[in-house]
């Protein structure tokens, strides 16, 4: 995994929430699970940042989307802010940060659940639902 340092800053649509991180993983994963499809509207992109590198200002609402993770959003405009497993790093969406436009897509998970409109090009690994759930915490009965 390649780690980047510097300053990556973004703001939600209404400007209430600002997130800054000084370290992040310079690679993006895409997830097509049902939770991510509903939350994002199609496919969820994410990259990690360690908790100690992250500063959040503004009023954030969180929702426990599973027994092991929360999703956060701006309480005013609803912008998706992060997905985070308990005790895990932040998983941010690249679209939130102007400086994240060049992060490469390196992996798709739940690739066999992708909607036709969310077909992604490229040579990266495509992990099926069964392959993913064999090794990772997951929500049961997600189609
Ligand atoms: Zn907002
Ligand atoms: Zn997902």
Exposure string of 100-136, with b = 16+ CB inside 10 Å and e = fewer, is beebebbebbbbebbeeebeeeeebebbebeebbeee
Q: What residues does each domain of the chain span? A: 3-133
**In CATH, 3-133 is 2.40.10.120:** no
Cα→Cα distances 48→73, 83, 112, Å:
17, 10, 23
Q: For 111-136, what is the mean pLDDT? A: 94
pLDDT digits (tens, 9 = 90+) for 17-32: 999 999 999 999 999 9
Q: If you measure from the C-alpha of residue 5 to the centroid of ligand 1, how many angstroms do you get, rounded to a whole number? A: 26
Cα(36) to ligand 2 centroid in Å equals 4
Mean pLDDT of the chain: 95
* Rounded distance from Cα 7 to ligand 2 centre (Å): 26
DSSP 42: S
Residue 142 has pLDDT above 80, yes or no: no
Residue range 36-47: mean pLDDT, rounded: 95
Ligand nearest to the CA of 13: 1
| pLDDT band at residue 51 under the 50/70/90 scheme | very high
Phi/psi region, residue 81 (left: phi>0; alpha: psi -120 to 50; beta: rest), is: alpha
């Amino acid at each position: 995994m390649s780690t980047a340092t510097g300053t990556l800053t973004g703001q939600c649509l209404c400007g209430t929430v600002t997130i800054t991180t000084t370290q992040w993983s310079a690679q993006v994963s895409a997830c097509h699970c049902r939770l991510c499809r509903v939350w994002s509207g199609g496919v969820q992109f994410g990259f990690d940042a360690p908790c100690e590198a992250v500063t959040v200002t503004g009023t954030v609402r969180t929702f426990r989307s599973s027994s092991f993770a929360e999703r956060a959003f701006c309480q005013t405009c609803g912008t998706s802010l992060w997905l985070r497993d308990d005790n895990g790093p932040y998983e941010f969406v690249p679209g939130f940060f102007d400086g994240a436009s060049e992060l490469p897509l390196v992996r798709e998970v739940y690739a066999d659940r992708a909607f036709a409109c969310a077909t992604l090009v490229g040579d990266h690994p495509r992990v099926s639902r069964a392959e993913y759930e064999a090794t990772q915490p997951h929500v049961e009965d997600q189609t």
